[in-house]
Amino acid sequence: MAQHTDIIDGRLMGIYVAGSLVAVATGCSLKITHAVRESSNKDSGKWQKMLPGRVGWSMSGNAKFEFNAAYGFADLYALITGPTGATVLISTKTTGDIEYTGNCFLESLDADFPDSADSTYSFSMKGDGVLTKQTTA
């Protein structure tokens, strides 16, 4: 499939954990932050002087809760309770599109089981180091 050249339909994006797509997903997001630090001094007057700080990132998602999902709540549970992080990727998996990948630790995993409605869960992952921007091959 050729690179997308228009606004990306959110249904095409997915989070992959250690190569496996989080199944039955209903949404996903990527957040990149750049902290700034104040460096004002007596000579700054009334205006703050800011300098760049550290860059960080996180990914999060929502999905339907299924016990037999190809990669779902049980897999993320194993990740959050285990001693290691994982490599994650957010991508359309379309050749030529941009994707983002890096190592992370699962930060939260929340399940919701409402009365007479679909059971769902949400998760968030905190980046550990560099988030790499690359082109899908």
Report the pLDDT value the prediction gives residue 4, as an integer from 0 to 100.
Answer: 78
35 pLDDT exceeds 70? yes
| Average pLDDT score, the chain | 95
Binned at pLDDT 50, 70 and 90, residue 5 comes out as confident
Report the pLDDT value the prediction gives residue 28, as an integer from 0 to 100.
Answer: 98
Domains parsed from the chain with CATH numbers? 10-40+54-135 (2.30.110.20)
Rounded-to-integer distance, Cα 105 and Cα 84, Å: 7
Which three-class secondary structure state does DSSP give residue 84? coil
50 secondary structure, DSSP code? E
Do 59 and 125 form a contact (C-beta atoms < 8 A)? yes
pLDDT in tens, 50-75: 999 999 999 999 999 999 999 999 99
